[in-house]
Structure 1
């Protein structure tokens, strides 16, 4: 009963400033939404501009254009041949792609030689990449056509060509046949590609925010010690351990509540929604332990907050919240493994994040136990 009373008191103290709590709920959503929009805008500007020409309004050419548009590396525009060549002269695009006449008939026979004509801009540097992307779609249609034509000629069935073509085309989805999936250091390449559209940086920023908000809300440890609350509650028959655990539970619940909206916003759209959700929960638990442990080492709020900011920045840099330094050096990789951010971010792109989750859980549990030990043993002063 005493524990529940202390938890309610902790909630009342934190929620006494309602605007602060609302601010903690809404501000992260606004910040991360803005960051996501800026990343999308920046990624669009970094896309390679390419012009596709379909002057004959050929259905097969249009199919190729629509599929190339799905490539996140290219920014596809459609213009006439004359306009395309003028834009290339002004370096407004990397290249212009023209298709030979009667493209459908040639692809139906599986012929792909000289069906693409590529015009380059004077300062073009990415034409090889463009040609590869367009050629891959041409080869896809050519292989479909050749297979369907063979079966149609061999068996001469009713609507066999259309059936065979559709069946062959389906073999390219979601990935082409013979695609090799592999993992590097436990990180799934497919998962890494899924997170390469800016979400990795957003999760990195989230890791910084979670740690900072934990340090901010865990300063009750110093406040109670300096104000004499710790001594007075002991006189009322409440043990140090009960007080610490109750305040910790109350603060942790509100931390989870404030982080829920922004976490859901970032996780919506991922196929491994629950796996990533558990990783964020594990990281939150680790941050609770870290902030609680460090709070019990200090008596002055100023030094505590300075240490909190310095710790967050250093571990964020080493752990890959901003950029993956671990890719540049083996020593940096070793240093990254001592940061909670590393285990969160690597777990978010891993096909099997169980180990990362266990590590974060034991980091949090171990430091909470150490923090409780320090808090119970040390002398509370008014």
Structure 2
């Protein structure tokens, strides 16, 4: 215990190191989240659209897609749009064929809008979903208006000239301010509602904290490399031995990082990055992994430069696969399946429910943490 107190005093006597351990993860994560949010707001997908129908409904679709913050819509003709596509000036081209409005009124929704894309198009599916959702809205409105017309014909009521338009507009108004239908989903035994875009953006602070905490843990464990040669050998001659010194030294740094984790959690709670107090447990479990991994890597390494290089590369790789910076499943589905077993993934999903798969994942991470710790202890004991 005396050794642990001496280590804590040594950390306190180094203000830069203390600030680094306590402040960097939360502050860096918050700044990084703000940066990612600004980047996402600035990046828009360039999409060309050619309106060959020039009807009220086709113009309505284009107008609504234009308001989407993720899409930069470029109005053009079909021929000019294809040229822009070949010059890679746009990601894809959507052509609203002539007769679009008539087909909607006839409940013929197939091939109303033609998609032209290049093999290198990366965001086509995202834009296609946006446009498809608007067409679905129009078709739903139209179908409701047609049903109203049929009811008038069935009961031989006097039908106003603007009946279809009036019924269409009335139905369309029902989508405001929210759609008529919302979805309650169940994932892993937990029922809830999809988080909104703002909440998803804010929650990136916690995964970024995980990446920075791993980096800080690597910095905290550099003492192993500096001391395992001359000091560890001398410690073997003392009554308590080298393992007591190692345990208490790791405990000192772990104590500081636990304080950092708790302070970070309350900071994220205050700014709205987390809403569930159980996320703190995930953060503490993840911290245990970071300490075990950093301790193991330090005992395996021989040079400080190689230690930091390998540690940073592994931290980046785990964070990328874990989905810290972006959803990896959007790029590669196989990596998305692997991501569920990466410790960082727990911070991305922030789920802690009584679900079989989640407990298996938590168990796997804890087993990996224990194995890393045991291997690190074995390496220390093997030092002669």
TM-score, structure 1 as length reference: 0.57
What are the residue-to-residue correspondences of 1:132-211 with 2, within 5 Å? 132-147=132-147, 165=171, 172-175=180-183, 208-211=211-214
* 2:42 aligned residue: 41
Match of 2:365 in 1: 360
Match 1:301 to one of 299, 304, 313: 304
Return the alpha-carbon distance in structure 1 between the equivalents of residues 367 and 320 of structure 2. Answer: 22
Partners of 2:352 and 2:153 in 1: how far apart? Answer: 47
Larger displacement relative to structure 2 (311-320 or 245-254): 311-320
Match of 2:291 in 1: 288
Residue 294 and residue 4 in structure 1: after superposition, are their counterparts in 2 closer, same or farther (change >3 A)?
Answer: closer
Are residues 115 and 320 of structure 1, via their aligned partners in 2, closer, same or farther at CA, if it must alter by over 3 Å? closer
Contact kept in structure 1, 2:33 and 2:202, CA below 8 Å: no
C-alpha contact 1:267 1:273 (8 A) present in aligned 2? no
Equivalent residues, number: 350
Deviation sequence 1:100-120 (CA, Å, 0-9, x none): 79x7x997xx64459998699
SS in 1 for 2:181: coil
Following superposition of structure 1 onto structure 2, how do residues 1-382 of structure 1 map, counting pairs within 5 Å?
2=2, 5-6=5-6, 8-9=8-9, 11-13=11-13, 15-17=15-17, 20=20, 26-42=27-43, 44=44, 46-50=45-49, 64=61, 68=65, 74-76=71-73, 91=84, 94-95=93-94, 97=96, 111-113=106-108, 129=128, 132-147=132-147, 165=171, 172-175=180-183, 208-225=211-228, 228=231, 231=235, 239-240=244-245, 243-244=248-249, 246-253=251-258, 255-256=260-261, 260=265, 268=273, 279-298=282-301, 300-312=303-315, 327=332, 340=342, 344=346, 353-368=358-373, 370-372=375-377, 375=380, 377=381
2:293 and 2:369 in contact (8 A); partners too:
yes
Cα distance, 1:202–1:165 mapped onto 2, change above 3 Å = same
C-alpha separation between the residues in 2 aligned to 1:171 and 1:152? 27
CA–CA distance in 2 between the matches of 1:120 and 1:245?
A: 59
> Is contact 1:285-1:360 (8 Å) kept?
no
CA contact (8 A) 2:28 2:212 kept: no
| Closer, same or farther: CA 149–356 of 1 in aligned 2, 3 Å | farther
Gaps of 5+ in 1: none
Tell me how far apart the structure 2 counterparts of residues 306 and 120 of structure 1 sit (CA, whole Å).
Answer: 46
Which ranges in structure 2 are unaligned for 5 or more consecutive residues? 158-166
Asked whether the 8 Å contact 2:52–2:96 carries over to 1, the reply is: yes
In 2 relative to 1, CA 267–135 (structure 1 residues): closer, same or farther, beyond 3 Å?
A: same
C-alpha distance 149-202 of structure 1, shift in aligned 2 (>3 A): farther
Q: TM-score, normalised by structure 2?
A: 0.57
**Residue 251 of structure 1, CA deviation:** 3.8
Identify the residue that residue 164 of structure 2 maps to in structure 1: none
Query: By how many angstroms is 1:212 displaced?
Result: 2.5
> 8 Å contact 1:6–1:243 — kept in the other structure?
no
Cα distance in structure 2, aligned partners of 1:302 and 1:86: 57
Residue 326 to residue 75, structure 1, CA distance change in 2 (3 Å): closer
Cα distance 1:65–1:34, how it changes in 2: closer, same or farther (>3 A)?
A: same
- Structure 1 residues 142-161: Cα deviation after superposition (integer angstroms, max 9, x where no partner): 233345556778899xxxx7
Q: 1:320 to 1:117 in 2, by over 3 A?
A: closer
SS for the counterpart of 2:49 is strand
What is the CA-CA distance between 1:287 and the residue it aligns to? Answer: 1.8
The CA distance in 2 between the partners of 1:15 and 1:64, in whole Å, is: 59
Match of 2:162? none
CA distance in structure 2 between the aligned counterparts of 1:15 and 1:227, rounded to whole angstroms: 26
Aligned mates of 1:70, 1:312 — CA distance in 2: 38
CA RMSD after TM alignment: 6.3
Q: Distance in 2 between matches of 1:194 and 1:118?
A: 28
For residues 328-349 of structure 1, give each alpha carbon's deviation from its aligned partner in whole angstroms, at most 9, with x where no partner exists.
Answer: 87xx899x58973575488569
In 2 relative to 1, CA 63–201 (structure 1 residues): closer, same or farther, beyond 3 Å?
same
What is the deviation of 1:262?
9.4
